[in-house]
Amino acid sequence: MQFVDQWGETSYSGYGFKTWLSNNKDVALSISFLYLMFVFYAPRYIPRFMGEAGTEKNKIMQEKVKKVWVVWNLFLSAFAFYGTTRVFPPLIKNFMKYGIHDTFCTFRPEEFYTTEIGTALGLFTMSKLPEFGDTVFLLLLGKKLPFLQFFHHTSMFLFVWFAYEQGSSIFITAAAYNYFVHTIMYMYFALAEAGFKEEVKPLAMYITALQLIQMMGVMWSSSYVIYQKYFVDLPNGVAHDAYGVGACPGTSLYNARLQFCIYTFFLYLFGEMFFKTTSSEDPPLKSGE
């Protein structure tokens, strides 16, 4: 992973990326629109490429797609492991050194946009685009997409675009949890598609449980900021400000509220999936947050 760190030191500019995101918000909306168009219209054309279900051509093509998907999942798992090693330790260190309040409420721009941490956070933001590829593989294999699949990918893509461009003291918590869970989740998918589905199937419910813990962890950081901004008395008559000034200035109020709302919805959807997983013989775990 050292080559990624070297690339970050020599070629990556967090501030430049922030400016680009700010100047190209229409690109985010356009990409999301095209992705949703693909989700709803691609299934009618895929049989022309993959062959009709049950045909010899379809079986051969699906085997080829599965092999590529194994490599894809291994790559994403390795990438998520890189991110975990760069983001999680500093987050824990900040908790131990500064405490909960300072970690959640103090925005450190040099840490956020530069250093190994900044590179990992920037790559985390970028990674939500290639993660749309999960949907492509599922559709090529003839899978029916649940609402969770495309809602999750679209909302996360738009959220990280907005959050990184704005700068947020609690964005690192979302990145750390996501990196960690994705390290395990994508390895699970790789093993399942490599022919070990029966061996790893019992792990599905535990991975979904980790995802639920992830949602609650991110909601905790968001709710802490929201509570500070709404209910904590400020000294010397300082007013609360939606743009960040006040009791917890590291994250804007609307950023914290947006993050809380999105992850609350995720918690509901993944909770629903968890109950299906625990009550079904064939776990319905899908690529997710």
Q: CA 92, CA 107: separation in Å to the nearest integer?
A: 16
Task: Single out the residue of 174, 182, 186 nearest to residue 121, CA to CA.
Answer: 174
Amino acid at 128: K
DSSP string, 156-181: HHHHHHHHHHH--TTHHHHHHHHHHH
**What does DSSP assign to residue 252?**
-
Q: Is 90 helix (H, G, I), strand (E, B) or coil?
A: helix
Active-site hit among 152, 153, 182, 240:
152
The answer to whether 218 and 174 have CB atoms below 8 angstroms apart is: yes
The answer to whether 173 and 214 have CB atoms below 8 angstroms apart is: no
152 is annotated as an active-site residue: yes
Q: Is 32 helix (H, G, I), strand (E, B) or coil?
A: helix
Q: CA 251, CA 245: separation in Å to the nearest integer?
A: 9
**What does DSSP assign to residue 196?**
I
Task: Single out the residue of 116, 107, 131, 111 nearest to residue 35, CA to CA.
Answer: 131
The answer to whether 77 and 187 have CB atoms below 8 angstroms apart is: yes
CA angle 262, 266, 272 (to 5 degrees): 150
Q: What are phi and psi of 166, to 5 degrees?
A: -75, -35
What are the residue numbers of the active site?
152
